[in-house]
Chain A
Amino acid sequence: MRIFLLRRARLFAAIIITIGILLVISAFTRATALAGKTTVPSLPVSSLGESLIKASPVQPAILASSKLPPAPKEDLCLHCHVTGDNTGLWTPLARWVLFGSMGVIFAFGVYRSASVWKKRSPWIPIPKRLGSWVEERYQVSEPLAKFLGKPVPRYALHWWYCLGGITAFLFVVQALTGIMLAFYYKPTPEAAYASIQYIETQVFFGAAIRAIHHWAANGMIVVCIAHMLRVFIMGAYKRPRELNWVSGILLLVLTLGFGLTGYLLPWDQRAFWATTVASEIAGSIPAIGELVLVFLRVGWEVTSLTLSRFYALHIMVMPILTLGFMGAHFVMVRRQGIAKPL
């Protein structure tokens, strides 16, 4: 059937085109014949249409009384106005042939579509396709399976093993809220205080973000120390995890450094004098104390330069260092596994 129809596609097309041409000629001759007559045969139009065309004086009355005109009874064939009446023989015949052929072609199209649909290749879910797209290019599935399938000891599900992960998550929280605060914060003595006030009072959720940054910073120090004490008590720092312990201590120092540098940024009395005291403590280290003091304060006093330095340390130097040590910390934990609780 399919082959039969395809072979004769040109024949069908020729027939349809011929019929179409016949139809057009028929309509044209009819139109010229009608034009030959002096009186145009009144087309059966509804009384409303008639009244509108003629613009009879009755119309305003009809509209004024807001009565609907009688429903059209005669005019049931709308396309007759284009192609003529149904009175002849050839015109309806040609019409039937034309639309009938189109119907046959449509049915054939449906049949073809259905057979194509039935013979389609099996559907692959889109995530699977994406996966194979990536896999074809980067061959990630094997290392990923190795990464995800790594056995973890069951005792690692105890809550005290989660402290390190919580610290890491709090670092992420600090990074995100810190970026949000940095959008509005201005690190100069003149503007810092006002910008904190602006964050607290004007910025949408500014007070919430600042509160999270403030309290999560304190919480991070607490959780960090708790994690360290857990590792210490359980003896998890022992061979072969010495360097993991050292990197953890450095991370704790960095966390405290974050606290120290971040505390100055609001530039209020408390911040200013706390920084003065803290840098004074650092200044009393023998031999290198003055050097440390001058490095921290950029001079002998806490000034706008101190603020700039603390800001740069707080948002650039220490995050980079922390990310580096965190990466090392995680890689080592991953490599060596979680220590046995004896």
Chain B
Amino acid sequence: MPDTSDQHKDSIPFYPDHIRTEFWVTLGVLAIIILIGVAGMLAPVGIGDPADPLNTPAHVKPEWYFLALYQLLKFVPKTAGVVAPILALLLITIWPFIDRKTEKSPRPRLLRLVVVVVGLVVLIALTIWGEVS
């Protein structure tokens, strides 16, 4: 495992160089957070009608990050539509144990980039579709 050693050819010390960069990034994120807070004072998140178990609203939707799954379930059989994402998640989890080759060329990286882009496009499309439908 040569790439875990500390002896990189071109390295900077963790402190202060790396910490300084991280500090500025954190400060930038904090600025955005504070802006969100100010925006929240002007336009609060708000709250809908109180929950009523007897009154089902017309458009029942889950949170946006489950919208793709929700939309998928409209088209595929329910069991398959639920099992497939779980299996996909399991596959992603154990992926490092499946893909064990050490890379010598940038080709597999490009391949993965394409896979990610296609997957993201499908996911975003399903999410938007679920949002507008």
Chain A interface (Cβ within 8 Å of chain B)? Answer: 147-157, 159, 162, 165-166, 169-170, 173, 189, 193, 196-197, 200, 205, 207-212, 214-216, 218, 221, 229, 232-235, 237-242, 245-246, 249, 253, 256, 259-260, 263, 266-274, 276-278, 281-282, 284-286, 289, 301-302, 335-337, 339-340, 342
Contacts and interface: CB of A to CB of B under 8 A. Distances in A.
Contact of A151 (B8, B25, B52): B8
B51 A284 contact: no
A268 B57 CA distance: 11
A273 B57 contact: yes
B66 A268 contact: no
A239 B1 contact: yes
Contacts of B108: 235
A126 to B, nearest CB: 22
Contact of B96 (A245, A271, A284): A245
Please report whether the interface of chain B is mostly helix, strand, loop or mixed according to DSSP.
helix
A211 to B, nearest CB: 2
B133 interface: no
Contacts of B17: 152, 157
B109 A233 contact: yes
Interface in B38-61: 38-41, 44-53, 55-57, 60-61
B31 to A, nearest CB: 12
A212 B89 contact: no
B6 A151 contact: yes
A342 B106 contact: yes
B36 A215 contact: yes
A157 B18 contact: yes
A235 B112 contact: yes
B56 A205 contact: no
Given A151-B8, A207-B44, A301-B53, A246 B70 contact: no
Nearest to A253: B89
Interface of B: 1, 3-8, 10-15, 17-19, 21-22, 25-26, 29-30, 33, 36-41, 44-53, 55-57, 60-66, 69-70, 73, 78-79, 82-83, 86, 89, 92-97, 99-100, 102-103, 106, 108-109, 112-113, 116, 120
A277 B62 contact: yes
- Greatest chain A CB density within 10 A among B26, B46, B100 is at B46
Given A165-B22, A207-B45, A268-B51, A238 B100 contact: yes
A170 B26 CA distance: 9
A162 B22 contact: yes
Contacts of B73: 281
29 contacts: A151-B14, A152-B11, A157-B17, A159-B25, A162-B21, A165-B25, A193-B50, A196-B47, A200-B44, A200-B47, A205-B37, A207-B45, A208-B37, A210-B44, A212-B33, A215-B36, A215-B40, A215-B45, A216-B36, A238-B102, A246-B96, A260-B66, A267-B51, A270-B48, A271-B51, A274-B61, A277-B70, A337-B5, A340-B3
A173 B11 CA distance: 31
B48 A269 contact: yes
A278 B62 contact: yes
A152 B26 contact: no
B89 A284 contact: no
Contact of B47 (A229, A268, A282): A268
Contacts of B60: 273-274, 276-277
B57 A211 contact: no
Given A151-B6, A214-B45, A270-B48, A277 B83 contact: no
